[in-house]
Amino acid sequence: MEKVDHIGIAVKSLDDSMDYYIHTLGLKLLGVEQVPQQHVTVAFLDAGNIKLELLEPIGNEGAIASFLEKRGEGVHHIAFGVSDIRQRMEDLKKNGVRLLQEEPKIGAGGAEVAFLHPKSSFGVLYELCAKRSLGDE
Ligand SMILES: CC[C@@H](C(=O)O)C(=O)SCCNC(=O)CCNC(=O)[C@H](O)C(C)(C)COP(=O)(O)OP(=O)(O)OC[C@H]1O[C@@H](n2cnc3c(N)ncnc32)[C@H](O)[C@@H]1OP(=O)(O)O
Ligand SMILES: [Co+2]
């Protein structure tokens, strides 16, 4: 993997949590975006070499709503930036890793994203993301 692009953090409300990240922790807000395909609104914060991605669910459907219901707020996934996502997916599959989809999906900033099942990644949900997310100017 080329590098960690972002850490995804599930929150119930961006309005309630962003003040903590921006004013208490002093992180810079890079942008806010709706990603309806994933049933989330996301806020990206600059955390130095990587970004924090706060994910608030849109409605009751989707991975984030389900995660909040079952586990509450907290770290949800770690995203690796990759240059050739299809090749990476193929290589991982050959190594017995369970992917959550056959084809990449559209994520924040129009990036292509794919997820590795936490059950084949020692309890961690990993995302692969290709192209750039918000703030990668
Ligand atoms: C904004 C777009 C994009 C970006 O550009 O960055 C994103 O980040 S989108 C982020 C949200 N989308 C996703 O996470 C999509 C992929 N995720 C999924 O498909 C599901 O969340 C899941 C991983 C398959 C879990 O689905 P769910 O229906 O909730 O199943 P379970 O609750 O039964 O979970 C099965 C099993 O996995 C454990 N689990 C679930 N979530 C996580 C997690 N985030 N980290 C670690 N482990 C997780 C869960 O505890 C279950 O284990 P057991 O309890 O032992 O059975
Ligand atoms: Co993400």
The complex's ipTM? 0.97
How many Cβ atoms from other residues are within 10 Å of residue 48's Cβ?
6
Q: Sheet containing 28-35: which strands, arranged edge to edge?
A: 28-35, 40-47, 50-57, 3-10, 74-82, 126-130, 112-116, 105-106
Which residues of the chain, if any, have pLDDT below 70?
1, 132-137
Domain range list for the chain: 3-130
The residues lining ligand 1, judged by C-beta closer than 6 Å to any ligand atom, are 8, 35, 38, 40, 42, 53, 55, 63-64, 66-67, 70, 76-77, 79, 100, 107-108, 111, 113, 115, 118-119, 123-125, 127, 129, 133
Sign for the pseudo-dihedral over CA of 122, 125, 130, 133: negative
Q: What is the pLDDT of residue 133?
A: 46
- Model pLDDT for residues 79-90, shown as the tens digit of each residue: 999 999 999 999
DSSP tag of 98: P
Q: What is the pLDDT of residue 2?
A: 77
Q: What is the pLDDT of residue 23?
A: 97
Q: What is the pLDDT of residue 137?
A: 44
Q: What is the pLDDT of residue 6?
A: 97
Residue type, position 19, single letter: D
Q: Which atom of ligand 1 is nearest to the CA of 111?
A: 5
Q: What is the pLDDT of residue 132?
A: 52
Q: What is the pLDDT of residue 3?
A: 92
Question: What whole-number distance in Å separates Cα of residue 68 and Cα of residue 48?
Answer: 27
- Model pLDDT for residues 61-84, shown as the tens digit of each residue: 999 999 999 999 999 999 999 999
Interstrand relation of 28-35 and 50-57 (parallel, antiparallel or unpaired): unpaired
Class of domain 3-130: alpha beta
Q: What is the pLDDT of residue 91?
A: 97
Residue whose token pair is 């996502």: 85
